[in-house]
């Protein structure tokens, strides 16, 4: 997991071009000139593949692609949605087989692995050649997708985490809506009041970005060492947060792990009205609003301190593409103001491009999307290491066993840290 700013200049350029004086045409061209004039060479038609993992974002990206193709008639873009559970394995297989996607989404935790193995195009020479202004993106995102001082990805969006809640379920239980004053104690009390024989107050699946990362940092803990050398889930502050989350399952305030495995909390239990609260990212706002208009959002409850994981995606080019020039044109468009406007106006995600965040906030006036922007004040970068995401996958496997009751929760933090550290030592 899930927080993730030239349009006027572009318009001005277009207007200036439209107002430029035209060279008067002769009343009648000499026949010899007409017969010998060479027609401009036709540009070769090219098809680019574009891989993403979120089907909910496809409609906005289809609009972006249509606008791009209108200005680039020789380039056709085919979007391909590969669901998150399959995305990275398919991407690795495609790259190894020399048949990868021309352009695709990249996240921060995996970026160093792909950049260091030569799977991505170094964009810096083209950025310099085209004088591309990278200051329109948050500096932290530009840095996130840079390797050895060179840019390898153009930021697409950013996201933070907050508390989604079902207002109808709160009203039925007579519980006051969550706000910025809520603490962990308030969260637990509300979950108890909202739990019935048919519904649960909250859903706490083993989800790093949406759930447990945030609570660890709220409790003053850390997930990994600052230098990325060690998983720190066995330290007291981190383990206390894990135990707090498990207490919701233990007390029957959240679906048990088996139920959440059978029915996904994010896409089924919460939007289906079986769970009253769920912590997750700004990218879900539009999806939840369409699923149930009475879903709203509030800041994450405060632990010892406030914390919300911030992350953002980038678009990158596969180093094996046969159409680099066309892929670069598409990448620039994806990272430009027109694409940002579409992402913002549809409420799809918070654009990384400066100046369009407020448009996103106003895209769904019935939801308090401002809380995601307010979270920037206490945002914590997504924990990542140079080795990629395997360490967090191993940690999640242990925590999933603990959630199922296969591992005593008191031992889960120690075993999770050991599993994560073992993965770090493999590379």
354-363 tens-digit pLDDT: 999 999 999 9
Say whether 41 sits in a helix, a strand or coil: coil
Q: What is the pLDDT of residues 161-196, one digit of tens each?
A: 999 999 999 999 999 999 999 999 999 999 999 999
pLDDT of 10 reads: 27
One-character DSSP codes across 327-393: HHHHHHHHTSHHHHHHHHHTTSSEESSTT-HHHHHHHSTTS-THHHHHGGGGEEEPP--TT-SHHHH
pLDDT of 1 reads: 41
Q: What is the mean pLDDT of residues 146-159?
A: 97
State the residue for tokens 């430029």. 20
- In this structure, is residue 127 part of a structural domain? yes
Q: Among 40-54, 273-287, 350-364, which is the least confidently predicted range?
A: 40-54
| pLDDT reading at 364 higher than 80 | yes
Task: Give the CATH number of the domain where residue 116 resides.
Answer: 3.40.190.10
Q: What is the mean pLDDT of residues 23-34?
A: 32
Same domain, 148 and 225: no
Q: What is the pLDDT of residues 290-317, one digit of tens each?
A: 988 899 999 999 999 999 999 999 999 9
pLDDT averaged over every residue in the chain: 90
Q: What is the mean pLDDT of residues 56-68?
A: 97
pLDDT of 5 reads: 33
**Distances in whole angstroms, Cα of residue 131 to Cα of each of 126, 128, 327, 355, 424:** 8, 5, 17, 20, 39
Q: What is the mean pLDDT of residues 308-336?
A: 97
- In this structure, is residue 8 part of a structural domain? no
- In this structure, is residue 35 part of a structural domain? no
Q: What is the pLDDT of residues 231-265, one digit of tens each?
A: 999 999 999 999 999 999 999 999 999 999 999 99
- In this structure, is residue 3 part of a structural domain? no
Angle of the 390-403 helix axis to the 409-425 helix axis, nearest 10: 160
Same domain, 282 and 417: yes
Phi-psi region of 190 (alpha: psi -120 to 50; beta: other; left: phi over 0): alpha
- Select the more confidently predicted residue: 233 or 11: 233
- In this structure, is residue 380 part of a structural domain? no
Q: What is the pLDDT of residues 89-131, one digit of tens each?
A: 999 999 999 999 999 999 999 999 999 999 999 999 999 999 9
Same domain, 332 and 306: no
Number of domains in the chain: 2
Check: CB of residue 129 under 8 Å from CB of residue 95. no
Q: What is the mean pLDDT of residues 333-347?
A: 97
- In this structure, is residue 230 part of a structural domain? yes
CB atoms within 10 A of CB 295: 24
The range of the structural domain enclosing residue 70 comes to 46-158+312-351
Q: What is the mean pLDDT of residues 375-392?
A: 91
pLDDT of 44 reads: 87
386: confidence class by pLDDT, cuts 50, 70, 90: confident
d(CA 183, CA 315): 37
32: confidence class by pLDDT, cuts 50, 70, 90: very low
Q: What is the pLDDT of residues 189-241, one digit of tens each?
A: 999 999 999 999 999 999 999 999 999 999 999 999 988 899 999 999 999 99
Same domain, 90 and 226: no
Count of H-run helices and E-run strands, the chain: 19, 14
Same domain, 130 and 235: no
Q: What is the mean pLDDT of residues 270-298?
A: 95
| pLDDT reading at 18 higher than 80 | no
Same domain, 178 and 293: yes
Same domain, 253 and 201: yes
| Nearest one of 204, 220, 218, 193 to 299, comparing CA atoms | 218
d(CA 285, CA 148): 35
Provide the whole-model pTM.
Answer: 0.86
426: confidence class by pLDDT, cuts 50, 70, 90: confident
pLDDT of 42 reads: 52
Same domain, 284 and 411: yes
d(CA 51, CA 82): 7
């Amino acid at each position: 997991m899930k927080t993730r700013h030239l349009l006027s200049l572009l318009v001005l350029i277009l207007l200036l071009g439209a107002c430029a004086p035209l060279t008067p045409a002769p009343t009648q061209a000499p026949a010899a000139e007409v017969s010998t004039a060479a027609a401009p060479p036709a540009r070769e038609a090219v098809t680019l593949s574009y891989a993403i993992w979120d089907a909910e974002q496809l409609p906005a990206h289809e609009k972006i692609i249509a606008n791009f193709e209108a200005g680039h008639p020789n380039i056709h873009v085919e979007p391909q949605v590969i669901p998150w559970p399959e995305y990275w394995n398919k991407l690795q297989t495609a790259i190894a087989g020399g048949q990868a996607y021309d352009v695709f989404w990249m996240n921060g935790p995996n970026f160093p692995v792909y950049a260091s193995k030569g799977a991505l195009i170094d964009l810096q020479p083209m950025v310099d050649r085209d004088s591309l202004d990278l200051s329109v993106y948050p500096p932290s995102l530009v840095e996130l997708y840079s390797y050895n001082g060179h840019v390898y990805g153009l930021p697409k969006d950013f996201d933070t985490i907050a508390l989604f809640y079902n207002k109808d379920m709160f009203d039925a239980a007579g519980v006051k809506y969550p706000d910025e004053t809520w603490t962990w104690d308030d969260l637990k009390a509300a979950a108890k009041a909202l739990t019935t024989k048919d519904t649960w107050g909250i859903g706490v699946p083993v989800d790093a970005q949406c759930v447990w990362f945030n609570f660890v940092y709220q409790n003053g803990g850390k997930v990994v060492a600052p230098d990325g050398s060690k998983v720190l889930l066995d330290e007291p502050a981190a383990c206390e947060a894990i135990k707090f989350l498990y207490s919701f399952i233990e007390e029957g305030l959240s679906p048990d792990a088996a139920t959440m495995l059978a029915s996904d909390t994010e896409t089924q239990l919460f939007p289906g009205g079986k769970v009253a609260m769920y912590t997750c990212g700004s990218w879900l706002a539009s999806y939840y609003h369409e699923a149930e208009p009475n879903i709203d959002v509030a800041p994450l409850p405060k632990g010892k301190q406030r914390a919300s994981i911030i992350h953002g995606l980038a678009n990158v080019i596969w180093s094996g593409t046969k159409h680099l020039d066309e892929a670069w044109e598409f990448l620039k468009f994806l990272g430009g103001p027109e694409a940002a406007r579409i992402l913002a106006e549809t409420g799809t995600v918070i654009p990384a491009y400066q100046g369009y965040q407020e448009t996103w906030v106003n895209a769904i006036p019935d939801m308090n999307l401002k809380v995601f922007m307010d979270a920037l004040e206490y945002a914590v970068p997504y924990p990542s290491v140079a080795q990629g995401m395997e360490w967090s996958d191993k940690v999640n496997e242990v925590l999933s066993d603990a959630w199922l009751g296969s591992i005593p929760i008191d031992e889960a933090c120690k075993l999770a840290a050991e599993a994560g550290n073992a993965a770090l030592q493999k590379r």
